[in-house]
């Protein structure tokens, strides 16, 4: 399965973001023009031990396809088991292996970006996952530039993944040490694109049409958007309008309110009210950024415990 074949332009891809890229947000972004979406990170070890909540993370609606499930771990056999199990259960359009998460809890356990310390292990992981999946189902890897500025070994790691059978690589142009500070290095993405035989997805700092244009200049085969979509699922639609030389859509306050309501209802479709509202509050705070009195509005949102309360707060926002 070549998930790139139907796109004349680099596809716009919603990044895998723990606690943010859930079913509701993925559908919302798809409705606004995202071409491909990734799941939240799924623990391979939790799949191995049949954790029910973890399997919920792997469930998705047909409206979300093409969707790629992202798994994380450090043990080749367990990652391969999880990839095979998840594919047999939900038949995603691809399996991605996280080797770029910078969060301390993940890295300290030898997972995420910590895997970049060991290119030989990267090869072993990718080759084992590749072996257990149908040949037409793409296996991909998401990485960063390296652990820190002294060990920017992204090319070596990506070459190991390519040798192991990866179909494409997503590169976030920052090191683990940088987290989300500074600027994403688009030159690194271009270097990787010029080096690999497989496709490269560029990731980092795409927040508008100008940053999209700058990333596309690297020659990347796909554009991954993460934090730039928070409170702004319209970014996908506006990039597509930009490609057609159409003026951007600037949503009114009323349109943003309607998007928030839509987001809440989608969340409630997939989760209990308690969980849905708790997780959606993070998104609502992003939607409200820049509104008059947004700080006090966000405080109210973060204390709301029912759908009725949230609706009342959002309805109180004036045009």
Instruction: Give the residue numbers marked as catalytic.
Output: 101
Q: Rounded CA gap, 285 and 145, in Å?
A: 30
Of 287, 241, 266, 283, whose CA–CA distance to 63 is shortest?
266
CA quadruple 114, 118, 122, 128: dihedral positive or negative?
negative
Q: Do the Cβ atoms of 11 and 170 come closer than 8 Å?
A: no
At 200 the three-state DSSP class reads strand
Q: What residues contact residue 85 under an 8 Å CB cut-off, 6+ apart?
A: 47
Name the packing angle between helices 209-216 and 186-195 (round to 10°): 30
Q: Do the Cβ atoms of 161 and 141 come closer than 8 Å?
A: yes
């Amino acid at each position: 399965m070549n998930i790139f074949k139907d796109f004349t332009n680099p596809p716009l891809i919603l990044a895998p973001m723990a606690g943010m890229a859930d079913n509701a947000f993925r559908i919302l972004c798809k409705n606004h023009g995202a071409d491909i979406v990734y799941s939240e990170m799924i623990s391979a070890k939790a799949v191995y031990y049949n954790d029910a909540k973890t399997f919920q993370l792997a469930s998705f609606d047909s409206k979300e396809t093409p969707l790629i499930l992202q798994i994380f771990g450090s043990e080749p056999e367990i990652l391969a088991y999880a990839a095979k199990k998840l594919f047999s259960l939900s038949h995603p359009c691809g399996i991605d292996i996280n080797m770029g998460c910078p969060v301390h809890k993940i890295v300290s356990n030898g997972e995420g970006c910590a895997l970049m310390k060991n290119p030989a292990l990267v090869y072993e992981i990718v080759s084992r996952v590749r072996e257990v999946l149908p040949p037409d189902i793409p296996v991909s890897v998401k990485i960063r530039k390296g652990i820190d500025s002294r060990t920017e070994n992204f090319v070596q790691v990506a070459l190991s993944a390519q040798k192991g059978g990866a179909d494409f690589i997503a590169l976030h142009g920052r090191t683990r040490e940088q987290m989300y500070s500074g600027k994403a290095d688009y030159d690194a993405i271009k270097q990787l694109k010029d080096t690999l035989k497989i496709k490269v997805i560029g990731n980092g700092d795409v927040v508008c049409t100008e940053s999209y244009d700058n990333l596309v200049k690297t020659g990347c085969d796909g554009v991954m958007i993460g934090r730039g979509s928070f409170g702004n699922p319209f970014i996908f639609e506006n990039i597509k309008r930009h490609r057609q030389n159409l003026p951007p859509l600037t949503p009114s306050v009323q349109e943003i309110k309607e998007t928030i309501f839509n987001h809440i209802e989608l969340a409630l479709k997939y989760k209990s009210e308690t969980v849905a509202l708790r997780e959606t509050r993070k998104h609502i705070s992003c939607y409200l950024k820049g509104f008059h009195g947004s700080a006090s509005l966000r405080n109210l949102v973060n204390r709301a415990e029912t759908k009725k309360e949230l609706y009342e707060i959002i309805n109180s926002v004036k045009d």
